[in-house]
Amino acid sequence: MAEFEFDLFVIGGGSGGVRASRVAASLGAKVAVAEERYFGGTCVNVGCVPKKLFSYAAHYRDDIEDSRGFGWEIDNARFNWSTLKSNKDKEINRLESIYRSILENNKVTIFEGRARLAGPNLIEINGKQVSARHVLIAVGGWPQRPRIEGNELMMTSNELFSLEKLPNSMLIVGGGYIAVEFASIYTRMGVDTTLVYRGDKLLRGFDTDVRDFITTEIKHSLNLVLNSSPSKIIHNNNMLEVIMQDGSGYSAEAILAATGRAPLTGDLGLDTVKVNLDAKGAIQVDENFETSEPGIYAVGDVIDRVALTPVALAEGQIVSRRLFGNSDAGMEYRNIPSAVFCQPNIGTVGLTEDQARELGSPIDIYTATVKQLKHTLSGRNEMSFLKLVVNAQDEKVIGVHMVGPDAGELIQGFAVALNSGATKSDFDRTIGIHPTLAEEFVTMRTKRKSHLA
């Protein structure tokens, strides 16, 4: 490999890029990575980590209110945005430095700046060209604003974490997990929150029962406007006014665009190589994550398969082990667990009911709607929902879905069960922990639905 300066050059220092760099270096490869913003990528800096910290902060409001039913008297409880933001910033800076240290400790050469391809084995960075036998593109995605008049007045999730002060009111446009999470968070921080979505129920792509349930539950804490889309945004005195397509209007101090993300493939020099993009601008790769240009690979959000940090980590590791460790392991996309950190939480793994029906085999559906024991004293009108999707032919559980407290924590164990081929009988003979919400998953006996797909 002496004719190349590097064995692997990674464009992007997010989760997938750093994992690929570390693994390749540990296997003896000479590795370089280029990052133009911050190490750790979206997740660490403006994504899942700070969002989860904000979710914890928001949850304390519910906890303080609920504690009264248990005898606690907490007077003059106040939320201080500056304290949360300052502490969040310290933690994110700490994590970003850890990602940098991982690279340095593995003797990965770090370039800070915008890297572009200049040919099949050439990368241009900071005015110079370097060569690499293999190139990995792991630049992630970027939040998008709807294409409407005045969209420059909208924030995206990137800016939301660095607000100097909380607005008194906020309108959020979107119905996916980012919109739903931030709506749950900011309404509990005392912001008058309106969530506007063009569909008739939130969280497209999730199980229909879960969508119905969370759409109903979230109405208890904020103003939800469905079947409505904005047409333009204007300044109106010191407020922003959103004019909807039906002519109605809503005013707020701040407007958040949470209408999706797009692969960050612009200005990468892709015109100098044979790398194909799909209609969404995502890089097309084969089962080994190799593009149509031999020696150039891509992983993570930029390939638009499953936009989750653990998935990008796994993909990056697979590429490096294949290139430098003689591994033939592939990526398994079945039974990837995910969570939505709204209030209440959503946890899901496996197939939705509709996806299971499309397989053509008979399925059985088990559901439970329950009130958590805690709320018998808290007085909170919050319900939880649990669901099992079962293949009726072999009794294998092929989908587990939950809306309720700590659903994201609970669903991880059920992901192991699904990957181990657990059956409904395995669930039934498992003793539950009483009293918990999780025990409902092993006590459901009555089929809500049994039918052919």
Strand partners, 132: 6
How wide is the angle at C-alpha 297 spanned by C-alphas 296 and 298, nearest 5°? 135
Query: Dihedral of the CA atoms 375, 378, 379, 380 (nearest 10)?
Result: -70
Residue whose token pair is 């025990």: 439
Q: Which of 87, 48, 80 is nearest to 61 (CA)?
A: 80
What token pair was written down for 93?
Answer: 């800076």
Residue 161 and residue 176: Cα distance in Å, rounded? 18
How wide is the angle at C-alpha 114 spanned by C-alphas 111 and 118, nearest 5°? 95
Residue 206 and residue 149: Cα distance in Å, rounded? 31
Residue 99 and residue 111: Cα distance in Å, rounded? 14
Residue type for position 33: V
Q: Active-site residues: which are they?
A: 434
